[in-house]
Structure 1
Amino acid sequence: MDLKDQLKNLFPDHKESESTNETKNKSDIWLQDDPIICKYEKRKGKPITILEGYNGATDDFKKLAKELKTKLSVGGSFKDDKIIIQGDYRDKIMQILKNKGFNVKRVGG
C-alpha cells in the first residue's frame, strides 16, 4: 500500500484536483517584452555570465537567480539589478530562460 492509498483511507471525502500539476508548470515570475541581455566576462581571470535588463520586480529577479543557480549547480550573486553566475553558462541559461518564456539576447561572442 503506497502513500496515496493510505491518504485515501484516512481522508475518504478528499477529492484530488488535477489543476495542481498545471500550476506547478506555470511560472510566477513576470515576463517582459524586452530581451534579457546575457553576456560573458572575465573577472580576475575567471569566467562569469551576467544577466541584465529585467525591468520587473527585484524579488522576481532574485527568484530567477536562485532558480538558475540551483539548476546549474553553480555559485553566483544578485547585485545592482544584475545576476552574476560563476562560469560560462550562456547557452544553458539562454535555453532555460527561453523555456520559461523570456526573450534573451546574447552579447559578446
Structure 2
Amino acid sequence: MDLSDQLKNLFPEHEPSENKPETPTSDIWMQEAPILCKYEKRKGKPITILEGYTGADTDFKKLTKELKTKLSVGGTYKNERIIIQGDYRDKIMQILQDKGFKVKRVGG
C-alpha cells in the first residue's frame, strides 16, 4: 500500500489535483552578455567578484542578497560589482545558470 492509497483511505472525499506548482518568474533583469566571475585575494583572504551585470541598482541588490543568503556568506555590492567573501565560483556560477544567466569564468 503506497502513500496515495493510504491518503485515499484517510480522506475518501478528497480528489487529488493534477496542478503542477508554477515556477517562480524572476523579477531580476536578464541580460544577453555573460557575467564575469573572478577570484582574487585581498589581504590574504579569498573573494569572488561578479562583474558585467548591466541591470538596475535594485536588481544588483536583490541578486547580491539572494547569493549571500543561499551561500550563507558575507558580501557587498559596490561600484557595479558584487563581491562575495570566499571562493564560491562554482556554486555561484551554478546558481546564476539555474536562474538563466550566462556566466563566464575568468582566471584560474
Partner of 2:49: 50
- After superposition, the CA RMSD in angstroms is 1.3
Partner of 2:89: 90
Q: Which segments of structure 1 move beyond 2 Å, counting only runs of 4 or more? A: none
Among all aligned residue pairs of Structure 1 and Structure 2, give the percentage whose two residues are the same amino acid.
77
Q: Could you tell me how far 1:78 is from its partner in structure 2?
A: 0.6
Structure 2 gap segments, 5+ residues each: 1-18
Question: Could you report, residue by residue, the CA deviation over 1:23-51 in whole angstroms, capped at 9, with x for unpaired residues?
Answer: 6x211101000000000000000000000
* TM-score (ref. length: structure 1): 0.79
Structure 1 gap segments, 5+ residues each: 1-17
Structure of higher CA gyration radius? 2
Q: Could you tell me how far 1:22 is from its partner in structure 2?
A: 2.2
* TM-score (ref. length: structure 2): 0.79
Alpha-carbon distance between aligned partners in 2 of 1:104 and 1:53, rounded to the nearest angstrom: 10
Structure 1 segment 50-69 matched on structure 2, within 5 A: 50-69=49-68
SS in 2 for 1:49: strand
**More helix by percentage:** 1
Q: Could you tell me how far 1:86 is from its partner in structure 2?
A: 0.2
Shifted more, 50-59 versus 82-91: the winner is: 50-59
Alpha-carbon distance between aligned partners in 1 of 2:76 and 2:54, rounded to the nearest angstrom: 18
